[in-house]
């Protein structure tokens, strides 16, 4: 008898990798819908472009590696990578940003290590970090929410800006960042970080129009959407609770301590939890079954490490968010975490 050993992802269910990946993509819909509502059609265009490029790159590299194309494409792993990259990129980023990121994720971060189950790092986050370091201007050009935008962007304008750089009226993505009062806007986390470095207090910063009831206008609803999608995945047992609870719990605890001791110089726990890519990272990125820790205790440690790193980077680092960097740094620690959190052998005294 032959005993076949398959690479990760491994799941204690009767579902195939194809079904698991498809479910994750569908559960992204809650957060994607909120992102489309507040930031326009660019998000959906980026997702479509990134998904198309991801599947195409996967097919080409599989052909070059002389692997069967259709069976590997049907596992939906490349499609999920494209969706996550499309979500993470600013809505009106140039088309070539998306193409470069997706090709790097599929070819370098995934297939250079042997393909699905062999990659050490989350491919989508590797691509995001490469793009952020290489093209910081394009990767930080987020628009203000539609309700605050001086020039609302239509579907046609979104397509034109992504592929030509300008809307029908000649506005560039940088010009579209202006709010109704003419102020160029950034994301809530970036606004808070910049304001604190210029001497403003947290209370004074939160009075700016970009901030809503809980965190930032639009961003709090986007995070709530990804939270709902994550809870659906937990209910369906697509992912396990350890990593999201470890990450969100650690981020809440450490941000609460920081806010308790320095309320005028740090963000509140609610801002950390409902701004940026927190919920997307906790439920859809950190839980990657290939690059995350595998033992139950290890997953808790892995998630907690990401949460702590996110707080440190947001508070003292050079980047306003830090989800991608935190996930990649935690990926490096997975072998060590798994080694020291191995469960006791059954029957061992």
Q: What is the mean pLDDT of each run of 10 residues along the chain (349 residues)?
A: 49 72 95 95 96 95 90 90 96 95 95 85 95 92 83 90 90 77 73 86 86 86 96 94 97 95 90 94 94 93 97 90 94 94 69
Counting the structural domains of the chain, the total is 2
Judged by DSSP in three states, 157 sits in: helix
Residues 147 and 47 in one domain: yes
The answer on 194 and 156 residing in a single domain is no
Which of 185, 216, 243 is at the close of a domain? 185
Q: For residue 213, what pLDDT is reported?
A: 80
Tell me, yes or no, whether 180 lies in a domain: yes
With tokens 């950190």, the residue in question is 286
Helices (H), 28-67: 29-39, 42-64
Q: Is residue 118 part of a domain?
A: yes
User: 232 and 155 share a domain?
Assistant: no
Can you tell me the distance from the alpha carbon of 5 to that of 28, in angstroms, rounded to the nearest whole number?
31
Whether 276 and 295 map to the same domain: the answer is yes
The position carrying tokens 């809503």 is 212
Does some domain include residue 9? no
Residue 337 neighbours by CB under 8 Å, 6+ apart: 293, 295, 298, 301, 302, 305
Ordered alpha helix ranges (H), 65-165: 69-73, 77-88, 95-103, 123-134, 136-139, 155-164
- Does the CA dihedral 231-232-235-237 come out positive or negative? negative
Predicted confidence at residue 318, as pLDDT, reads: 84
Please indicate, yes or no, whether residues 50 and 28 belong to a single structural domain of this protein: yes
Task: Give me the pLDDT at residue 345, please.
Answer: 63
Quote the domain boundaries for residue 146: 17-185
Residue 347 lies in a domain: no
Domain termination residue (choose one: 185, 214, 242): 185
pLDDT, residue 33, reads 97
d(CA 276, CA 27): 18
pLDDT score of 180: 55
Please tell me the predicted confidence (pLDDT) of residue 117: 82
| Same domain for 288 and 254 | yes
């Amino acid at each position: 008898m032959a005993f076949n050993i398959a690479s990760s992802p491994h799941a204690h269910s009767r579902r195939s990798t194809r079904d698991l990946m498809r479910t994750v993509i569908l559960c992204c819909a809650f957060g994607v819908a909120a992102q489309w509502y507040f930031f326009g059609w660019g998000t959906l265009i980026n997702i479509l472009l990134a998904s198309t490029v991801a599947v195409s790159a996967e097919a080409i590299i599989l052909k070059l590696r002389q692997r069967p194309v259709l069976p590997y494409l049907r596992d939906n792993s490349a499609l999920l990578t494209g969706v996550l990259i499309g979500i993470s990129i600013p809505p009106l980023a140039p088309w070539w940003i998306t193409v470069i990121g997706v090709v790097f994720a599929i070819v370098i971060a995934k297939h250079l290590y042997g393909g699905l189950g062999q990659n050490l790092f989350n491919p989508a986050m590797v691509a995001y970090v490469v793009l952020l370091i290489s093209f910081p201007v394009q990767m930080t050009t987020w628009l203000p929410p539609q309700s605050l935008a001086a020039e609302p962007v239509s579907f046609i304008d979104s397509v034109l800006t992504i592929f030509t750089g300008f809307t029908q009226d000649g506005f560039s993505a940088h010009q579209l960042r202006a709010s109704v009062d003419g102020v160029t806007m950034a994301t809530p986390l970036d606004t808070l970080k910049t304001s604190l470095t210029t001497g403003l207090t947290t209370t004074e910063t939160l009075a700016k129009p970009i901030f809503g009831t809980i965190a930032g206008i639009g961003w709090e609803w986007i995070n709530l959407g990804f939270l709902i999608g994550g809870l659906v995945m937990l209910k369906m047992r697509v992912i396990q609770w350890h990593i999201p609870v470890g990450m969100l719990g650690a981020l809440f605890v450490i941000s609460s301590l920081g806010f308790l001791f320095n309320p005028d110089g740090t963000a509140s726990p609610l801002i950390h939890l409902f701004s940026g890519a927190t919920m997307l990272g906790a439920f859809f990125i950190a839980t990657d079954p290939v690059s995350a820790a595998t033992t139950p205790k290890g997953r808790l440690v892995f998630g907690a490490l990401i949460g702590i790193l996110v707080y440190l980077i947001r508070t003292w680092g050079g980047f306003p968010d830090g989800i991608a960097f935190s996930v990649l740094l935690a990926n490096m620690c997975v072998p060590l975490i798994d080694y020291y959190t191995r469960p006791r052998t059954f029957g061992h005294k």
